[in-house]
Structure 1
Amino acid sequence: MKTWLITGCSSGFGQRLALAAAKRGDRVIATARNVKAIGEMAEPFGGRMISLPLDVTDAAAARAVVAKAVETFGGFDVLVNNAGFGLFGAIEEGTPEEYRPMFEVNVFGLIETTRAALPVLRRSGGTIVNMSSGAGIAGGAGGGYYNAAKFAVEGISEALAGELNPFGIRVLIVEPGPFRTDFLGRSITMVANEMQEYAASSRKHYRETNNGNQAGDPDKAIAVILQAVDSEDAPLHLPLGPVAHSIAERKLASFRNDIDAWRDITIATDFDQH
């Protein structure tokens, strides 16, 4: 039996993962900024699931949740950093009031929750699951701010994997493509200043036409995440769905082409040997 601490459980993957873990007999600390949104979720599971309020950007709140988890269950062995939202729009269109809050939640919130959890995980070992995205693999027009936030999640996660390996803590970077959650409808914000110059690369049409029509089955995605957490040989990177795999394959091919095309020129930059 595992004990999970999951952020962002009011909807989407966070909610589904909390329910799936509890239904299979695990213990869950489910958190959300608005705890009223998840209070009823815990009721069917008795004492095996508790719901707690957590604004991940509040370092003190993160420490308080970790302390409550230790008080209730003696600790936990899986941390899932799921809380987050997206911002679509061209870089020139965005304003600090729009993009800074996204970085506060998606990046700095993940950092604060992870830092609060690490003293517990270093004692118990376990797994950190950081929810990235296909957008964390490759950047695309109209999604630059969200790309940047998820690229940061990828870099933090890769560094953590090296730092925490000696303690028996694994890191799993989950990179979903489009799945039929309410992410596009509930968790995506469009920039207010939509410029005609960027109309061709706007994600507005993508959001409107794909929300509720995504091909990915979120329950199948959750089953894969559970399997990876349980596995002895889970990968560091876990692209989910054919779209995410396609993004990764195109990125790898493009990166390789760039490296190969300028290899001889770019490696000839050391001091000359005398």
Structure 2
Amino acid sequence: MNTTPTHTSTLTGKVALITGASSGIGEAIALTLSQAGALVAVGARRTERLAGLTERMPGETLVLHLDVTDAESVRAAVDATVERFGRLDVLVNNAGVMLSGPVAGADPAEWKTMIDTNLLGTMYATHAALPHLLQSKGTIVQTSSTSGRVASAAGAVYSASKFGVNAFSEGLRQEVTAEGVRVVVIEPGFVATELASHTTNADMRALAQQLHESMRALQPDDIARAVLYAVSQPEHVSVNELLIRPTDQVR
């Protein structure tokens, strides 16, 4: 008899908090985990989008206004999740921004935005959630990037933020794995989302469009299925890193 759990019940009773859930990968992860039976708290600055998202989620949900660059906002979101559902089993640090462009002539304020969101935001959420995840022997999912492995021209600071996520995650993993907490780093390649549209540099936006047209890009659901795979493994199995590129992507 096949005793492998189906996706519809894999995470029944588990509680997940997802940052950056208002679009793209975060939205897809929220839907997928809810469909797998999880109780899901979705956080973002654009809460009007979250209302539409939760209408499509089959399980119980909680909408949170969450700015990951504000440590107090993050802590309040974690506290609200635990107050509502009584526990926390999965944290998905997905909030991120990509403001690509050459270093020469760049606006350093954009560098700060990327570091504050991509790196410090991940750290703030992890720090706030960790006491609860230690109790539940839960899982932390960090959305990194292929840019966290290979830096490229016009992406130096974005890569620095994602290299930082990878380094932070590995150090954290070594601290908490003996306590039963799993740390998963997801490194997507080119995904068809609105991420590149945040870029203020017109040349970079045009390049992103060219890349999109030149390949069969990943879809947010592709990444969400990978996250579900990682968080639904038996407790003794820790999938620490998943690098996912479009087949057509060379670098």
Q: Is the 8 A contact 1:182 1:211 kept in 2?
A: no
**Quick check: 1:190 aligned with 2:200?**
yes
Q: Which residue of 2 aligns with 1:158?
A: 170
Once superposed, what is the RMSD of the aligned Cα atoms?
Answer: 2.1
Residues 1:99 and 2:103 are matched in the alignment: no
Deviations 1:83-135 (A, max 9, x none): 01101111123121221111111111111111110111111111100000011
- The 1-side partners of 2:248 and 2:146 are apart by 5
Q: Which residues of structure 1 form unaligned runs of 5+?
A: 193-201, 248-274
TM-score, normalising length from structure 1? 0.80
Provide the rounded CA distance (Å) in 2 between the counterparts of 1:78 and 1:108.
19
Per-residue CA distance 1:162-219 (angstroms, 9 max, x = gap): 011122101000000112222223xx31348xxxxxxxxx644421323476522332
Match of 1:239 in 2: 243
Q: 1:246 to 1:169 in 2, by over 3 A?
A: farther
Residue 69 of structure 2 corresponds to residue 57 of structure 1: yes
Q: Within 2, Cα distance between the matches of 1:171 and 1:231?
A: 12
**Residues 44-83 of structure 1 aligned to structure 2 (within 5 Å):** 44-45=56-57, 48-83=60-95
Q: CA deviation at 1:60?
A: 1.1
| Cα offset, 1:70, TM superposition | 1.1
- 217, 224, 227: which is aligned to 1:215? 217
CA–CA distance in structure 1, aligned partners of residues 119 and 201 of structure 2: 19
User: What's the % identity of the aligned pairs?
Assistant: 37
Shift of 1:240: 0.9
Post-superposition shift, 1:40?
A: 2.6
Distance 2:173 2:248 in 1: 21
> What amino acid maps onto 1:36 in structure 2?
E
Counterpart for residue 37 of structure 2:
25
Say how many residue pairs are matched: 236
Instruction: Quote the Cα distance in structure 2 between the aligned partners of 1:45 and 1:235.
Output: 26
Instruction: Give the whole-Å Cα distance in 2 for the aligned partners of 1:114 and 1:244.
Output: 33
Q: Could you say if the C-alpha distance between residues 30 and 235 of structure 1 is closer, same or farther in structure 2, counting changes exceeding 3 Å?
A: same
Higher helix share: 1
1:43, distance to aligned residue in structure 2 (A): 3.3
Unpaired segments ≥5 residues, structure 2: 1-11
Quote the residue 1:180 is aligned against.
192
Cα deviation digits, residues 132-157 of structure 1 (max 9, x gap): 00110111111111111100101001
Shift in CA distance, 84/126, structure 1 to aligned 2, threshold 3 Å:
same
Q: Is the 8 A contact 2:111 2:157 kept in 1?
A: yes
Equivalent residue of 1:166, what SS?
A: helix
Counterparts of 1:245 and 1:215 in 2: how far apart (Å)?
A: 8
Does the Cα contact within 8 Å between 2:35 and 2:59 map onto a contact in 1? no
Measure how far apart 1:241 and its partner are: 2.4
Secondary structure in 2 matching 1:10: coil
Equivalent residue for 2:3? none
